[in-house]
């Protein structure tokens, strides 16, 4: 019985390892953020980020649902699959010592490498904050992200 349970556990673990439905990494640009990604079978991605904005003590987080607009799997087949994603979501943060909420958009271009479970992407994420007069800071949010898929 123990061997059967161990075998079932190892099969589930192997399936979860090769499925690569999750990603964890960093995004750097106008700040530094931790990024979690959840991939869906349609190619869409849920991205949840948390970090510092402008490196001046402003903390914020976003949750954005990105739709996969294009996928160029045959562009460089030995390197990996290139993609273009666009999405929208919410943002919350402590900006200028005030709690704030807002709306964030995202446009990302990147590659899922075929030889390693790594994704590199450049993105533009404009954010409009609603409660305080600091919406202009969010429009300069370009970034480079590197995530490890597992």
pLDDT of 134 reads 59
pLDDT of 31 reads 85
Q: CB–CB of 87/68 below 8 Å?
A: no
What CATH number should be reported for the domain holding residue 143?
Answer: 2.40.160.20
Residue span of the structural domain in which 110 resides? 21-149
Number of domains in the chain: 1
Does some domain include residue 76?
Answer: yes
pLDDT of 76 reads 85
Does some domain include residue 25?
Answer: yes
pLDDT in tens, 37-62: 999 999 899 999 999 877 777 888 99
Across all residues in the chain, what is the average pLDDT?
84
- Tell how strand 127-129 and strand 98-113 pair up: antiparallel
Kindly tell me the burial class for residue 77, based on how many C-beta atoms sit within 10 Å of its own C-beta (0-12, 13-18, 19 or more): exposed
Share of the chain above pLDDT 70, in %: 83
Does some domain include residue 33?
Answer: yes
Does some domain include residue 16?
Answer: no
pLDDT in tens, 4-32: 444 544 444 444 455 579 999 999 987 89
| Between 132 and 82, the higher pLDDT residue | 82
pLDDT of 12 reads 46
Contacts 24+ apart (CB under 8 A), 30-37: 30/54, 30/140, 30/141, 30/142, 30/143, 31/55, 31/58, 31/141, 33/143, 35/145, 35/147, 37/119, 37/147, 37/149
Does some domain include residue 111?
Answer: yes
Does some domain include residue 139?
Answer: yes
| Between 132 and 108, the higher pLDDT residue | 108
Does some domain include residue 49?
Answer: yes
Does some domain include residue 12?
Answer: no
pLDDT of 97 reads 77
pLDDT of 128 reads 86
């Amino acid at each position: 019985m123990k061997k059967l349970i161990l075998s079932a556990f190892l099969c589930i673990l192997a399936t979860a390892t090769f499925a690569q439905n999750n990603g964890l990494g960093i995004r750097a640009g106008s700040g530094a953020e931790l990024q979690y990604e959840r991939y869906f079978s349609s190619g869409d991605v849920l991205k949840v980020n948390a970090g510092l904005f402008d490196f001046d003590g402003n903390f914020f987080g976003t949750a954005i649902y990105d739709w996969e607009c294009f996928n160029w799997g045959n562009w460089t087949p030995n390197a990996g699959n290139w993609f273009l994603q666009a999405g929208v979501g919410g943002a919350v943060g402590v900006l200028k010592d005030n709690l704030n909420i807002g709306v964030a958009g995202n446009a990302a271009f990147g590659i899922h490498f075929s030889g390693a479970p790594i994704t590199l992407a450049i993105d533009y994420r404009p954010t409009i904050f609603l409660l305080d007069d600091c919406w202009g800071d969010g429009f300069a949010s370009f970034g480079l992200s590197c995530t490890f898929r597992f």
